[in-house]
């Protein structure tokens, strides 16, 4: 099961769209991050090594950085053909 670590109005929102398009089973865990105004805080529940978003975990495998997450998910859930074309 995929867990998407998420904060509304952040880059993690893009992966709600992708997970839905892939018809992947997932849960969302809301976490906090630092904010530009100096507020907020890194959430110990967030597995991202820099406390940022997005991040996902998949049965203990943690993936972070948006392009890496996109490639991981489209490889993991190939059914709808959204990944890179294979030769």
Ligand X SMILES: N[C@@H](CCC(=O)N[C@@H](CS)C(=O)NCC(=O)O)C(=O)O
Contacting positions for ligand X (CB under 6 A): 10-11, 33-34, 51-54, 65-66
Closest distance to ligand X from the beta carbon of 51 (Å): 5
Toward ligand X, which CB reaches closer, 58 or 65?
Answer: 65
Closest CA to 40 of 68, 14, 7, 18: 7
Closest distance to ligand X from the beta carbon of 73 (Å): 13
CB atoms within 10 A of CB 54: 24
- Residues in contact with 33: Cβ distance below 8 Å, sequence separation at least 6, in sequence order: 7, 10, 40, 41, 42, 43, 46, 51, 52, 53
Closest distance to ligand X from the beta carbon of 83 (Å): 18
| 3-state SS assignment for residue 35 | coil
Toward ligand X, which CB reaches closer, 34 or 76?
Answer: 34
Toward ligand X, which CB reaches closer, 32 or 76?
Answer: 32
């Amino acid at each position: 099961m995929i867990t998407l670590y998420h904060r509304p109005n952040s880059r993690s929102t893009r992966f709600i769209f992708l997970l839905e398009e892939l018809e992947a089973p997932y849960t969302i865990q809301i976490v906090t991050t630092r904010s530009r105004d100096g507020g907020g805080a890194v959430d110990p529940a967030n597995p991202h090594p820099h406390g940022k978003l997005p991040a996902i975990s998949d049965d203990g495998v943690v993936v972070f950085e948006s392009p890496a997450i996109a490639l991981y998910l489209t490889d993991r859930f190939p059914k709808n053909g959204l990944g890179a074309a294979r030769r």
